[in-house]
Chains A and B, each alone.
Chain A
Amino acid sequence: MSSVSVIIPTCNRPQLLPRAIESARAAGTDVEIIVVDDASQDKTAAVCARLSGIKYIRLERNQGVAGARNVGILASSGEFVAFLDDDDLRLPGSLDWQVATLAAAPEAGFVCGAMLIADQNYQPTGEVSAPPEMCGDVFWQLLELDFPVMPLSLVIRKQCFLSVGLLNRRIPGIDDWDILVRIAELFPAITSAEPVGIYRQPAPYSGQGSSVQSDHLACAANHQLELFELPRVKTLSKSQRQAIRRRTINRAADTLLWGAWKSLPQKNFGFAVANIATALRLNPFRAMRPAIVRRMGKTLSERLRKRNSDSSGLTSPN
C-alpha cells in the first residue's frame, strides 16, 4: 500500500497527460498514481493504456473536476492524497518531503508548499505563488482569501474528508478552496515556501482560464456566505463577520484589478473588462480609487501610443 495517492483528473488532453504523470512518479518514492479520465472523447484511453504503473479509472459520464477528484479519492489506497491537474507538474522529490512532514505531525490536516508559475511551454515566468510560512491555524486566512490556494501544492490527510465531507461539485473552480477552508476549520496546517510544483498558466487564448478569474472570485465571494455557516464563524460577533466580509471583497477586487492591469500589455482586453466589471460589482468605491484609475489610464495610453508608432513600422498584427 502506497502512502500517498496522486489523483490526476483529465479530460481531452492526452498530449499533456504523460508529462504530468511522469512528474508525479518522480515526485516520491512510494506513490500511487490514479488517473481519472473524465469521459474524454479522444485518445486519452489509448495513451493511458500504454503507461504502466498507473491506476486508470474511466468515467463514462462527465462528472466535472470535483466529481472526478472524488472518484479518485474513493479509489485511492494511500493515507494521504495529492491532486495534480493534467497540465501541471510536480517537482522531483516534492511529495516525499510533504508526506514526511505530514506523517510527523499527526494532528495536521494538510501540508501546503509553494509553486512556480510557468507559461504554456512550462517555462517558469519567475513568479512564485507561496503561502506565508507557518504552522497551525490557517482557517481565517483561507476564509478571507488571504492564502494562495492551488490543489497542486497540497498533500491532504485522507482521514480529514471523513470529518468534513468530499469536494463540492456545485462550485466548479473553487471546490478546492471550499474543501480547504472546511478542513482548516478543524485541523491545523503546515505551510512552507519551498516550491513543490509547476503551475502552467492558462494562455489568454486557450479559453481555459481567460475570463475565469473574475468568475471564480465572484463565485468565491458568493460562496463565502455559505461558509459563514461553519460553527467557528458563527461564534463571531456580527461586526467581526462584517469585517471579514469587507476585507475579503476588497481583496477580491484588488486581485481582479491587478490581474486586469497585468493583462493590458498582452492586449487581452476581454479579460481586463471582465475583471474590472466584476471588481466594480464587488466594490465600486475600491475599484474606482484615483490611484487605480490613473494607473489603468497610464498603461492604456502607453499601449495606444506604442501601437500607433508600431503601425507605421514593420509589424503586422494579423
Chain B
Amino acid sequence: MSLTSIIITTHNRPKLLRRAVESAFAAGTNLEVIVVDDASTDETARVCRDLTRIKYVRVERNQRVAGARNLGLLASSGQYITFLDDDDVRFPGSLDRQIKLLETNSEAGLVYGYAILVDQSGAATNQSYPRICHQGDVLWELLAQNFIPCGTAVFRRSCLDRVGLLDQRLAGIDDWDLWVRIAELYSIMALAEPVMCWRQSTPASQQGTSAAGRIVLQSVQQFQESWKNLPRVLSASHEMKRRAWRRFSANMSAHLSYEVLRALRHRQLAQATRNLFALLRLSPAAMLRLLRINNAHSAR
C-alpha cells in the first residue's frame, strides 16, 4: 500500500489538535501526518513539539484554510491525500479500507465516506452525512450540493496535476470546488460506512456557520463564474445546465433558510439578519417559503 498523507490544518486550537492527530495515526498503516500550523499565536507550537511522529509545518503568515492545505500538500510526499480538520476525529482503520477501494479501481480519483455528526461538546448525534452516497460520475450531483464531507475524502495526488490546487480565495467552499474539478475528470467512489466524527458548529461557536450568508453568496459566484464554464458543463445540453442551476440554487436557499431559523432559535439576531439579507439577494421567493416553514414550526 502506497504512502498516504493526512494533512491537518490548525489555527489556535491546541486542545483539540492532539485527539485529531492520534485518530489520524490510528486510521491507517502506511501514512504520514502533516500538521500545518497556520500562524497560531498560542501554545500550538509547543503542543506539536510533544507530538513526535508528526511532520510539523509552521506557517508564519496566516493563509486561511485553503492556503494552509496547499502548503500541507507541498510538505507531503504521499501518493494519496486526505485532509482532516483539527476538531475532527478519524475512525481506526478507516483510511486503509478507503485506499483499498482506490487501489482496486484505477479509474477512480477520489473515495469518500459517511461522517457522523457530533455536537460542540463532542457527543454524537444520531445523524450522519451524507444521506445518500452517490458514486461513479457524480459531477451533476456535486454541482447541486456538496455531499462529500471534507475529512472523509481521500484522493490521488496525481489528480492535482490535472486539475490544479485548492483555490485560496475560496474560504469555506475550497474543498467543494476541488471535488467538482476532480469529479469532472474522474469517477468518484464511496465507502458506505462512517469514517469520521464531524464536529458541527453552532451559531454561537463563531465558527463556520456564522458566515453562512457569505459562503452561500460565494458559492453562487463560483458556480456562475467557474463551474458553469467547466468544459463538460459547457458542452452539456441547455436543459441539463438549467436543471443544475435550479437544483443548486434551491439547495442554497434551503440551506440559508435553515441557518436563519437556527440563528433565530439561538437568539443570534445579527447573524440571522445577515443570512436573511443573503437569502433575499439569492432568491426573494425563498423568503415566502421561509415564512411558511416558520408558521408550520410555531403551529407545532
Q: Which of A71, A165, A170 contacts B61 (CB 8 A)?
A: A165
Please measure, in the bound complex, the distance between the C-alpha atom of A71 and the C-alpha atom of B168, giving whole angstroms: 13
Q: Which of B60, B73, B165 contacts A164 (CB 8 A)?
A: B60
Binary CB contact string for chain B from 220 to 233 against chain A (1 if under 8 A, 0 otherwise): 00000000001100
User: Do A59 and B58 have beta carbons less than 8 Å apart?
Assistant: no
Q: Which of A67, A73, A75, A169 contacts B161 (CB 8 A)?
A: A75
User: Do B61 and A164 have beta carbons less than 8 Å apart?
Assistant: yes
* Chain A, Cβ-Cβ closest to B62: A165
Closest CB-CB distance, B277 to chain A, in whole Å? 25
Q: Which residues of A contact B181 (CB under 8 A)?
A: 61
B167: interface (CB < 8 Å): yes
User: Do A59 and B161 have beta carbons less than 8 Å apart?
Assistant: yes
* Residues of A252-268 whose CB lies within 8 A of B: none
B101: interface (CB < 8 Å): no
A57: interface (CB < 8 Å): yes
Q: Which of B58, B71, B230 contacts A166 (CB 8 A)?
A: B71
With A161-B71, A166-B71 as known contacts, state yes or no: A182 contacts B61, CB within 8 Å. yes
Q: Which of A67, A170, A182, A185 contacts B165 (CB 8 A)?
A: A67
Closest CB-CB distance, B5 to chain A, in whole Å? 12
B192: interface (CB < 8 Å): no
User: Do B74 and A166 have beta carbons less than 8 Å apart?
Assistant: yes
Q: Which residues of B contact A63 (CB under 8 A)?
A: 164-165
B151: interface (CB < 8 Å): no
User: Do A73 and B60 have beta carbons less than 8 Å apart?
Assistant: no
Q: Which of A166, A170, A185 contacts B70 (CB 8 A)?
A: A166
Extra pairs beyond A60-B162, A61-B163, A158-B74 (18, CB < 8 Å)? A58-B161, A59-B161, A61-B230, A68-B164, A73-B74, A74-B73, A165-B59, A165-B61, A165-B63, A165-B67, A165-B70, A165-B168, A169-B167, A182-B61, A185-B61, A186-B60, A230-B61, A231-B61
The 9 closest A-B pairs by CB, nearest first: A63-B164, A163-B60, A165-B63, A60-B162, A57-B161, A165-B67, A67-B164, A170-B169, A70-B165
**A-B CB contact pairs (8 Å), 28 listed:** A57-B161, A59-B161, A59-B163, A59-B164, A67-B165, A68-B164, A70-B164, A70-B165, A71-B165, A73-B74, A74-B70, A75-B161, A158-B74, A162-B57, A162-B59, A162-B71, A163-B60, A164-B59, A164-B60, A164-B61, A165-B59, A165-B67, A165-B168, A166-B71, A168-B168, A169-B169, A186-B60, A230-B61
